[in-house]
Every structure is written in structure tokens, then in C-alpha cells.
Amino acid sequence: MSGLNEYRIDHVGIAVRSLEAALKFYEGALGMGASGRETVAAEKVNVAMLPAGGPRIELIEATEADSAVGRFLDQRGEGLHHVALLVPDLEAAVERLKTAGARLVNEPRRGAGGHLYVFVHPASTGGVLLELIQEP
């Protein structure tokens, strides 16, 4: 099959009610250090990235209750929000997904760290929100 070794886990996203409280655990109790923090206005979130041996953990806090992460927290509470994969050619991956009938949440756009990304709906992935990110 084509594409078997083209993908790498970039990060797992964890939705949290409070970025500060979550960082107390990850930085304080675990001793991990955040490599960066930023606000992604288009997604209405604050994020902190924590290196974890290659892949990273992305802590995500909603800045507004009506954001996708805010609604997720209201419906499901804190926890795993998504898994993100790096892809060598996002445009080709999106076309492959569309041809296969996969449901995309958005068209490719810029997000945290300036990366180009798209989300694939959990209905198409076996129940997990999947983020595809263009390799730098």
C-alpha cells in the first residue's frame, strides 16, 4: 500500500479546562517543560506544547465556550481531544480522503506554530478526531 511509512505522530491533543492547572501537573508533578505557548484565535484556544521524546503533548484550553474545544469540554469533559499526524503532502492526503468519502471538519488552514492542518471527523476514523499537519 502506498503511504504506509509517510506518516508520523506529531502530537496528541488534550482538552483541559485550565491550562495553568494542567501545567502544574505536567511541569510540576511530571517535570516536563512546555516548549511553547500560544493563542490560536481562529480556533478560540490557548495551547501549550510539551516535548515527549519526539511526539509532543498539546494541552488545549478554550478561550470561549462556543469554540469546538469549549463544546468538547462541556460534552465530554477533559481528556484526549485528537491525535495529530505529520504528512509529507497535505494536499494529496486531503484529496485521497475526499475520494475515499472521508468527512473533513475544515479545509486546510494555518494553526498553532503556523502549521497548515486539516481535521478529519471522528465519524470517518473510528471515533477519534484526527489532525493531519503538513510537514515543514
For the stretch 81-114, pLDDT in tens is 999 999 999 999 999 999 999 999 999 999 888 8
CATH 3.20.20.140 fits 8-134, yes or no: no
Question: What Å distances lie between residue 26 and 45, 47, 83, 133, CA to CA?
Answer: 19, 13, 18, 24
Q: What is the pLDDT of residue 136?
A: 82
Decide which of 1 and 9 is more confident: 9
Helices (H), the chain: 19-23, 68-76, 90-100, 122-125
Residue boundaries of the structural domains of the chain: 8-134
Query: For residue 82, which of 114, 45, 30, 32 has the smallest C-alpha distance?
Result: 45
**With 90 as the cut, is the pLDDT of residue 61 above it?**
yes
Helices (H), 24-132: 68-76, 90-100, 122-125
**In residues, how long is the chain?**
136
Please state, in angstroms and rounded to a whole number, the distance separating the CA atoms of residues 81 and 99. Answer: 26
